[in-house]
Amino acid sequence: MSESPSPTPQAAATPQAAAATPQAPALRARGLGFRFRSRAGARWALRDCEFALPAGRITALVGPNGAGKTTLFHLATDLLRPTEGAVEVFGHTAGTPEARGGVAFLAQDKPLYPRYTVEETLRLVSRLNKRWDHKGAEDIVRAGDIPLSARVGTLSGGERTRVALALAMGRRPGLLLLDEPLADLDPLVREEFMGTLMAEVLDRELSVVLSSHVLPDIEHSCDYVLLLKDGHIHLAGDADELRATHTLIKGRADHPVPDHVVHARTSGRQLTALVRTGGSGTVPGDWATESPTLEDVLLGHLRAHATADASAAGTAPSTAEGAAA
Amino acid sequence: MNGTLWLAWRQQRTLVLVAAGLAVLGTVIAYLAHRHLTSELAADWMRGCGWDSANGDACPFQRFSEFRETEVVRLRAFGFLIIALPGLVGLFWGAPLLGRDAELGTSKLVLTQDANRTRWFVSRFALAAVVTIALTTLLSLLWSWWREPLNDKVYGVQWYDAFALNATGPRAVAATLFGLALGTAAGLLLRRILPAMIVTLVGVCGVGAALELGRRALVPPRLYVSTGSGPKVPMGDKWSSGNWGYLTPSGKREGIENCTYTGEELRKCMASHNYVQRFYEANPHSDRWLFQAWETGIFLVLTIALILLTGWLLRRRRV
């Protein structure tokens, strides 16, 4: 509730360390499912989700539109209640005071009161929280040359995103959830935003989950990946590990296709495929192999057909568990 | 100040100030009007006018109709404001109370902070409820005080006047609370202010009209009987149902149109129809509290149901 900066930077830097067990994953889902009810009937937005995102990582939440990314964020912040299963933030069930205190959420449309000034907006959020770093929040706003007396309604999209980020960071969260933060920003502002975010992550022990459909943006910033498709987890794991366990192969289309192909594409007589190699990196047969980028891996899995997905989904939970341990 | 309460104040301060302005304005108007009314009633020319004026000529007609047109019309206009309060509060206070955040998407901002959503809702609704209750109570007390000198005047506003029944007592306050709760629930349910306003307007007018038409089904008029052609129980300040006539020995009621006479002719007529008693139906003044209790109860039950619905919606979903 205090508007003054936290007494010591150290205390503010690791708020979640004292509040939760150190081993607890930043975000964990157990048999998580959510069903929307509408006039058209019920529809599962998320089903059977099981994952554990390790603390201290920047996780990319990837998936096509309608995959359930936003629903997952809303469940983690108690804006929605699970139909089945549970979500935990640092070991605390979403919605409990401990979980609320540990997580900050930046919604996709960056909802702010247009008639409030930036200053009033900061004060408003400070009033609603027990822990609040006013100086830290103001610094983020100032770094974007946004006057504190400006009305929020007069700000540009990038400035609004910056104010919304300041509100989230001012809470000194252990976990920061960003829903498509870059979607409506131009490339320059996008780079600047990622820069600010990275600086904040380095300064503090912060876990971040960032959803994006702009794959190049996450290539260099994210070190963990959660891929959602049709409400199911299709892939979860460490980014480096995913690169290492996949191989891109190229060869003649009339060759017999090897096992564990995630996705294959033919153009003319040439076949390009993403293959899951399990770490060996070798693929039997006459193929030119290449290490994939994270983008290649994600695209391959995003394009994979439902039949191929079944095998990928089957291995996903073990990948997640292995990386979390 | 508590965080959610601070936010509630910050978002509702314009409405609170408007309510305070209405309260001050209403007090001044009621005070001046009441002062003028009592001085007119005490004036010399007024002595010949009223219930017991033995001689109609003693009342200056021109002056008296002017008095009626201004004083009573003013009183009713003020009463109309009180009757409109449930609608006004529902539309402009209830519907945006949660509806604005739902429409702007800012519920995602305020609901994801430390302060939990129950406290957020309670602070908001409580501030709105306290201010609107205070405003309605004040205005309806002022109106009752203003009406008092006209209460027992034949040209006045009786207790059973629609304005007096709707704009006074706990009933008026409960109606306003109902308007607020309906607007709040509609705003949250529809998540858009304009449709919520329309639903609120329809709901408030609907319940108001239903009570206006059905209140005598809740508190039925009583039967007053007088034997033979002897004197009736005086109507006095009772609210007549307009239903009166004659009773046969078996207790069957027959209309007044069969014997429209007085005195000896009436006695003969009654005898020829075999009528033994005369009757009329009316609600005595003491029924005012039954009307108040029924209508207050109905509004409070509806209000509680709407608050529970709002709480349920807030717990279930509604981002």
**Mean pLDDT of the A305-311 span:** 46
Long-range contacts (CB closer than 8 Å, 24 or more residues apart) made by B136-140? B136/B82, B136/B85, B136/B172, B136/B173, B136/B175, B136/B176, B137/B173, B138/B23, B138/B26, B138/B27, B139/B22, B139/B23, B139/B26, B139/B78, B139/B81, B139/B82, B139/B85, B140/B82, B140/B167, B140/B168, B140/B169, B140/B172, B140/B173
**DSSP secondary structure letter of residue A257:** P
Q: Do A130 and B112 touch (CB under 8 A)?
A: no
C-beta atoms of B319 and A129 within 8 A: no
Residues A234 and A228: their CA atoms lie apart, in Å, by: 6
What's the mean pLDDT in A184-211?
84
**Residue B8, amino acid:** A
Q: Tens digits of per-residue pLDDT, B130-166?
A: 999 999 999 999 999 999 888 777 777 889 999 999 9
Q: DSSP letter at B68?
A: I
Tokens representing B298?
A: 């109905």
User: What tokens appear for A297 in the block?
Assistant: 């891996």
Domain ranges of chain B: 3-219+291-316, 222-286
Q: Give the pLDDT confidence score for residue B233 in this predicted structure.
A: 82
Helix B73-89 × helix B3-41 angle, to 10°: 170
Ramachandran angles phi, psi of B17, nearest 5°: -70, -40
Domain limits of chain A? Answer: 9-230, 244-324
Indicate the SS3 state at residue B98. Answer: helix
Q: A114: which chain B residues are within 8 Å (Cβ-Cβ)?
A: 104
Contacts of A325 (CB under 8 A, 6+ apart): none
Which residues from chain A sit within 8 angstroms of residue B115, using beta carbons?
Answer: 128-129
- Distance, in Å, from the CA atom of A103 to the CA atom of A28, rounded to the nearest integer, reads 13
For chain A, the straight-line distance linking the first and the last C-alpha, in angstroms and rounded, comes to 36
Kindly list the distances between the CA atom of residue B235 and the CA atoms of A7, A113, A208, B25, B151, in Å, as whole numbers in the listed order. 79, 61, 80, 38, 15
> By the CB < 8 Å criterion, does A109 face chain B?
yes
**Whether pTM exceeds 0.95:** no
Q: CB atoms < 10 A from the CB of A8, how many?
A: 8
Whole-number Å distance between alpha carbons of B258 and B254: 8
Residue from the list A74, A113, A125 with its beta carbon closest to the beta carbon of B113: A125
Contact yes or no for B109 and A107 at CB 8 A: yes
Best of B108, B116, B124, B314 to substitute, by most chain A Cβ atoms within 10 angstroms, is: B108
In a mutational test of the A interface, the residue from B9, B112, B191 whose CB has the highest number of chain A CBs within 10 Å is B112
Question: Where does residue B120 rank: exposed (0-12), middle (13-18), buried (19+ CB within 10 A)?
Answer: buried
Q: In the prediction, which pLDDT does A220 show?
A: 80
Per the CB < 8 Å rule, is A78 touching B3?
no
Interface of A with B in 61-100 (CB under 8 A): 74, 77-81, 97, 100
Interface pTM, i.e. ipTM: 0.79
**Distance between CA B72 and CA B157 in Å, rounded?**
7
A111 → closest Cβ in B3, B106, B315:
B106
What residue type is B51 in one-letter code?
A: W
Distance CA A200, CA A216 (A): 21
Minimal Cα–Cα distance from A251 to chain B, Å? 50
pLDDT for residue A200: 80
Model pLDDT for residues A140-158, shown as the tens digit of each residue: 999 889 999 999 999 998 8
- Distance (Å, rounded) from C-alpha A175 to C-alpha B307? 34
The answer to whether the CB of A89 falls within 8 A of the CB of A27 is: yes
What are the residues facing B247 on neighbouring strands? B253, B277
Nearest-neighbour CA in chain B from A135: distance (Å): 18
Residues of chain B contacting residue A128, judged by C-beta atoms under 8 Å apart: 3-4, 7, 110, 113-115
Residue B114, min C-alpha distance to chain A (Å) = 5
Please, how many CA atoms are within 13 Å of residue A243, restricted to the half-sphere of its CB?
13
* DSSP-based three-state secondary structure for B296: helix
Average pLDDT of span A303-316: 50
Place of tokens 């706003």: A141
Residue A145 falls in which region: left (phi positive, over 0), alpha (psi -120 to 50) or beta = left
Which residues in chain B have their CB less than 8 angstroms from residue A101's CB? 114
pLDDT by 10s per residue, chain B, length 319: 578 898 899 999 999 999 999 999 999 999 999 999 999 888 888 877 765 554 556 778 788 888 888 888 999 999 999 999 999 999 999 999 999 999 999 999 998 998 878 888 999 999 999 999 999 999 999 999 999 888 777 777 889 999 999 999 999 999 999 999 999 999 999 999 999 999 999 999 999 999 999 999 999 999 999 887 777 888 888 899 988 889 988 888 888 888 888 788 888 888 888 898 899 999 999 999 999 999 999 999 999 999 999 999 888 765 5
pLDDT confidence tier of residue A110, bands split at 50, 70 and 90: very high
Question: Minimal Cα distance from B6: which residue of A?
Answer: A127
Q: Is residue A67 within 8 Å of A298, Cβ to Cβ?
A: no
What residues of chain B lie within 8 A of the CB of A74, using their CB? 319
d(CA A245, CA B119): 49
Q: How far apart are CA A246 and CA B108, in angstroms?
A: 39
Classify residue B70 by its DSSP letter. I
Q: Do A124 and B319 touch (CB under 8 A)?
A: no
| Minimal-distance CA residue of chain B relative to A179 | B108
Which residue carries 């203003």 as its tokens? B146
pLDDT value, residue A20: 46
Helices and strands, number each (H, E), in chain A: 12, 14
Give the span between the Cα atoms of A42 and A31, in whole angstroms: 19
Cα B46 to Cα B180: distance, rounded to the nearest angstrom: 43
Q: Does domain A9-230 have CATH number 3.40.50.300?
A: yes
Query: What 3-state DSSP class applies to A119?
Result: helix
Chain A positions in Cβ-Cβ contact with residue B1 (cut-off 8 Å)? 127
Q: Which two tokens stand for residue B204?
A: 């408030």
Q: Do A80 and B112 touch (CB under 8 A)?
A: no
Contact residues, chain B to chain A, C-beta under 8 Å:
1, 3-4, 6-7, 10, 104-116, 315-317, 319
Residue B108 and residue A111: Cβ atoms within 8 Å?
yes
Q: Is A129 on the interface with B (CB under 8 A)?
A: yes
CB contact under 8 A, A111 and B116: no
Alpha helices in B152-192 (DSSP H): 162-167, 169-190
Q: Do A105 and B112 count as a contact with CB atoms less than 8 A apart?
A: yes
CB contact under 8 A, A128 and B105: no
Q: Which of residues 234-293 of A touch B (CB under 8 A)?
A: none
Q: Provide the number of CB pairs (under 8 Å) joining chain A to chain B.
A: 68
